[in-house]
């Protein structure tokens, strides 16, 4: 497929195998196909220019994902002119155990929710939650690799994931009620 | 809250539920995973919670998982890298 001429450089050997991951993560982050493609290309070019900073033997995928994420955030900020968000890890954790429970304790309703709705809900999460969730639960990276990609301690990854999942479960539960996939709980 | 009905595990419901996602993500040490499993298998409410968490996590693995970087994009990137020059 990629029959590029010339000798395989170390960059090509290390970075190109991760294009699928970068592309999937870019799409989940941004949604729009053309924008996701631009993001992947920008990421690869930046990585190429910064290749001397990469330490051989360390995790190239995590390194590339760091660049992709930082690029995405910077673009997003520039376009939206939004203020830099507060440190989400200092926000009080809110434990919601949205219990689909009474009428659907095992969450059968999840299987009725379409992909587009899942993505919409994921993108509505605060950035820090969204990023951890995409890398861990959608792309399947280990917590350690997510921590490396997001440049935060593993404990931070865990707490972000915990809260991201609870928020998302609540949203999807509410959506399922709205769509009539399950009956709402009677809280009386 | 949910009663802890198990004698087989020293884990109570709260402890087991707190580890559930990590257990399903295979992020626990084997020892901890064994304790979570022992509790969940013997506790109906926690078992249901585990099914709930399992279905949720499997829903998240769905969207886009089959996607691959399109060939035209690969070519564009290869061209851009060549134009960039350098020999890494």
Answer yes or no: do A106 and B75 touch at CB < 8 A. Answer: no
A72-89 per-position pLDDT tens digit:
988 866 665 555 455 555
Q: Is the pLDDT of residue A19 over 50?
A: yes
Q: Residue A158 and residue A138: Cα distance in Å, rounded? A: 15
A36-48 per-position pLDDT tens digit:
999 999 999 999 9
Of the candidates A41, A143, A165, which has its C-beta nearest B27's C-beta?
A143
Answer yes or no: do B65 and A138 touch at CB < 8 A. Answer: yes
Answer yes or no: do B61 and A165 touch at CB < 8 A. Answer: no
Q: Is the pLDDT of residue B86 over 60?
A: no
User: Is the minimum CB–CB distance between B48 and chain A shorter than 8 Å?
Assistant: yes
For residue A137, list chain B residues with Cβ-Cβ distance below 8 A: 25, 57, 60-61
Residue B60: which domain range? 3-85
| Predicted-complex ipTM score | 0.82
Percent pLDDT > 70 in chain A is 79
Residue (of A89, A88, A73) closest to A25 by Cα position: A73
Q: Is the pLDDT of residue A67 over 90?
A: yes
Answer yes or no: do A40 and B57 touch at CB < 8 A. Answer: no
Per the structure, the count of domains in chain B is 1
Predicted TM-score (pTM) of the model is: 0.81
């Amino acid at each position: 497929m990629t029959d590029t001429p010339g000798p395989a450089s170390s960059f090509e050997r290390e970075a190109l195998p991760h294009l699928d991951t970068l592309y999937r993560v870019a799409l989940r982050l941004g949604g729009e196909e053309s924008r996701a493609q631009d993001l992947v290309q920008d990421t690869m070019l930046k990585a190429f220019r910064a290749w001397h900073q990469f330490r051989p033997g360390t995790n190239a995928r995590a390194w590339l994902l760091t660049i992709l994420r930082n690029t995405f955030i910077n673009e997003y900020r520039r376009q939206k002119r939004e203020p830099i968000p507060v440190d989400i890890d200092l926000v009080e954790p809110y434990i919601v155990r949205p219990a689909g429970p009474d009428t659907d304790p095992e969450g059968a309703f999840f299987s009725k929710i379409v992909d587009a709705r899942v993505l919409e809900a994921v993108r509505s999460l605060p950035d820090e939650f969204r990023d951890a969730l995409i890398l861990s639960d959608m792309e399947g990276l280990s917590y350690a690799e997510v921590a490396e990609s997001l440049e935060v301690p593993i404990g931070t990854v865990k707490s972000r994931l915990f809260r991201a999942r609870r928020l998302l479960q609540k949203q999807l539960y509410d959506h399922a009620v709205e769509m009539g996939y399950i009956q709402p709980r009677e809280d009386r | 809250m949910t009663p802890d009905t198990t004698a087989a595990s020293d884990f109570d419901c709260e402890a087991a539920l707190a580890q559930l996602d990590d257990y399903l993500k295979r992020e626990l040490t084997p020892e901890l995973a064994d304790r979570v499993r022992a509790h969940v298998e013997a506790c109906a409410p926690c078992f249901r919670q585990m099914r709930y968490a399992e279905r949720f996590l499997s829903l998240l693995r769905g969207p886009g998982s089959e996607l691959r970087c399109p060939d035209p994009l690969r070519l564009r990137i290869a061209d851009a890298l060549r134009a960039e020059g350098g020999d890494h």
